[in-house]
Amino acid sequence: MRPTEPQLRQNLTRYGRRLWERGWVANHDGNLSLRLPRGRVLCSPTGISKADLSTEMALVVDGETGKKLSGELRPFSELNLHLAFYACREDAQAVVHAHPPLATAYGAAGIELPHPFLPEAVVSLGASIPTVPLALPGQGAADAIAPYLPDHHALLIAGNGVLTCGADLEQAYLRMELVEHLCTVAHAACALGGVQKLSSATIEALLAAHVKAGLAPRLREVETKGRSQKLRTQSSEAQNSEAQSSEELQNLVNQEIARVLGR
Ligand SMILES: [Zn+2]
């Protein structure tokens, strides 16, 4: 059963508060949104600490133009980044932006996260978590992320934290959590000589599992037919692939673990 709008407002408040409790936002940073029926979007307002977000503060905006439809406060200025995700992706039903410290540090340093090095993260997030170059807020920021939206659930943005999408707010939040965890592990591994990236055979098998689990990005029909066709082709290839059997996948993962541990 679809959650009601009051329940969705509670979710927005709950996950906003979690961002603050985790120390992933400071001052008025961070923003959350989710799709409502009839092309509308529910979002957090600007100028509010996520610690103080309440259900009645949430705004309803037009999902295409961002124009406010109801609510007392103003929408946040980075709303265009959220709307860009919704315009491009069928599976993006919620978007979260925050500044978790380690992931934000990677972006601020202009360093690519050395993903993938943990097999499970490939099944959840795919094989790439890009760092988007620094851009000025506004249209420049939307233009900077646009090339990455079709193929990624999570982006590190130089000078501006992390942006994730999900099938709901929980998934978008958990993807943010996973990105911060990966950055924390990668950073800790620096003192030990750095992470060992997975082999391409393992990545391929894990990507097949990613597609089979229904976790691959799904583009909106308005996107180019070629891309949609490509995704469908990849999906059916993955389903037919020998590497698709969970036993073979487990073997590959075991081999990878043994390789990394030097056994
Ligand atoms: Zn930000």
Cα-trace Rg, the chain: 19
Instruction: Give the domain extent around 234.
Output: 200-261
> How many structural domains comprise the chain?
2
Which residue of the set 78, 120, 177, 180 is catalytic? 78
Q: How far is the CA of 139 from the centre of ligand 1 (A)?
A: 15
Q: Which pairing describes strands 162-166 and 68-70: parallel, antiparallel, or unpaired?
A: unpaired
Active site residue 78: yes
Per-residue pLDDT of the chain (263 residues; tens, 9 = 90+): 889 999 999 999 999 999 999 999 999 999 999 999 999 999 999 999 999 999 999 999 999 999 999 999 999 999 999 999 999 999 999 999 999 999 999 999 988 999 999 999 999 999 999 999 988 888 899 999 999 999 999 999 999 999 999 999 999 999 999 999 999 999 999 999 999 999 999 999 999 999 999 999 999 986 545 554 444 434 334 434 434 445 555 666 566 556 555 54
Q: Does 175 share its domain with 204? A: no
Contact status, residue 129 vs residue 162, Cβ threshold 8 Å: no
Q: Does 54 share its domain with 175? A: yes
Domain endpoint, select from 154, 169, 190: 190
Spacing of C-alpha 84 from chain mean position: 13
Q: Looking at residue 89, which CATH number applies to its domain?
A: 3.40.225.10
Q: Does 44 share its domain with 79? A: yes
Q: Does 151 share its domain with 230? A: no
Q: Does 120 share its domain with 174? A: yes
- Inside any domain, residue 59: yes
In angstroms, the CA 236 to CA 77 distance is 40
- Inside any domain, residue 102: yes
* CA pseudo-torsion sign 163, 169, 171, 174: positive
Q: Does 139 share its domain with 244? A: no
Q: In which order are the strands placed within the sheet that holds 154-157?
A: 68-70, 59-62, 40-43, 31-36, 94-98, 162-166, 154-157, 131-132
Q: How far is the CA of 224 from the centre of ligand 1 (A)?
A: 30
Q: Does 209 share its domain with 236? A: yes
Domain endpoint, select from 190, 214, 234: 190
Residue found under tokens 């919620």 = 94
Amino acid at 53: L
Q: Does 153 share its domain with 230? A: no
In angstroms, the CA 136 to CA 251 distance is 46
Q: How far is the CA of 99 from the centre of ligand 1 (A)?
A: 6
- Inside any domain, residue 115: yes
- Inside any domain, residue 195: no
Q: Does 175 share its domain with 210? A: no
Q: Does 178 share its domain with 218? A: no
- Inside any domain, residue 16: yes
Q: Does 50 share its domain with 176? A: yes
Domain endpoint, select from 190, 214, 230: 190
Q: How far is the CA of 97 from the centre of ligand 1 (A)?
A: 7
